[in-house]
Amino acid sequence: MNNSITQYFRKEMFPHIWCPGCGIGIILGAILRAIHSLGWEKDDIAMVSGIGCSSRITGYVDFNTMNTTHGRALPFATGIKMANPSLKVITVMGDGDCAAIGGNHFIHSARRNIDITAIIINNMIYGMTGGQYSPLTPTGKFGSTAPYGNIDQTFDLAALAASAGASYVSRSTIFDVNQATRFIKKALLKKGFSVVEIISDCPISFGRINQLRTPVQMLEWIKNITVPKKVWDKLSEEEKEGKFPTGEFLDIDIPEYTERYQETCNRIQ
């Protein structure tokens, strides 16, 4: 068996557009390793993204792929999944894409518990447009539109997804790519709405303005601001300040949307 993940690349699409030191490539590797370990056929996979640096992933992989409009990957994916439930549907979104403009779709996809895996590449900034702050920019950090420091509260997407009705929710980082790969694999196998948020770096749009200019500095910072869930639970509110828990937050089996829909059809036909 060919074990190289390059077999999933559309080689003619390279070189890719990402900056040197960008974490998106690391996450792409994790996604492909997870898919490869499951032995899924390329033909059976539909990968849908929104708009942003993260969303460019779909152009480089040899599946049924779609780079849609900003924030809308999930409803496009929902249409695909409902029309052909046998397809394995994965969405890839940036933090702005998923949490700002696409926030409502994220909530409602979780609420339906539709069998889609949502991978969120959280670089805590609008990368593609040049570093404006996003709903996941930590309070106090800087962005090109937060020159005096971001005063917004940071969204906790994992908690949001869990409370909205998802089946599987986890958070990892590009610092622990083996964990990220493991989480993605579990999410792909979950029947229901599964969410993996992966904290990533953007040395260009986030790093420069926040004195984290090199990828190494960014990785160290990511390591320092993340805490395994078990440790997190024992921290005081003060200690939690500026930190983010990683790990698996939810893993349950509840009725899934395409199956529920089919049950309704069977009942009335």
Ligand X SMILES: Cc1ncc(C[n+]2csc(CCOP(=O)(O)OP(=O)(O)O)c2C)c(N)n1
Give residues in contact with ligand SF4 (CB under 6 A). Answer: 18-19, 22, 24, 53, 123, 127-128, 202-205
Q: Which entry of another protein, ligand X, ligand SF4, none binds 193, CB below 5 to 8 A by partner kind?
A: none
Q: Residue 172 has what DSSP assignment?
A: E
For residue 15, say if its preceding peptide bond is cis, omega within 30 degrees of 0.
Answer: yes
Q: Does 66 bind another protein (CB under 8 A)?
A: yes
The beta strand positions in 71-115, using DSSP E, are 88-94
Q: Which entry of another protein, ligand X, ligand SF4, none binds 134, CB below 5 to 8 A by partner kind?
A: ligand X
Q: How far is the CB of 123 from ligand SF4 (least distance, A)?
A: 5
Question: How far is residue 109's CA from residue 114's CA, in Å, rounded to a whole number?
Answer: 6
Q: Which entry of ligand SF4, ligand X, another protein, none binds 126, CB below 5 to 8 A by partner kind?
A: ligand X
DSSP states along 16-80: PSPPTT-THHHHHHHHHHHHHHHT--GGGEEEEE-SSTGGGHHHHBSSEEEE-STT-HHHHHHHH
Looking at the Cβ atoms of 75 and 127, the one nearer to ligand X is 127
How long is the chain? 269
Residues of this chain that bind another protein (CB under 8 A): 10, 12-13, 42-44, 46, 48, 51, 58-59, 62-69, 72, 74-84, 86-87, 104-105, 107-108, 261, 264-265, 268-269
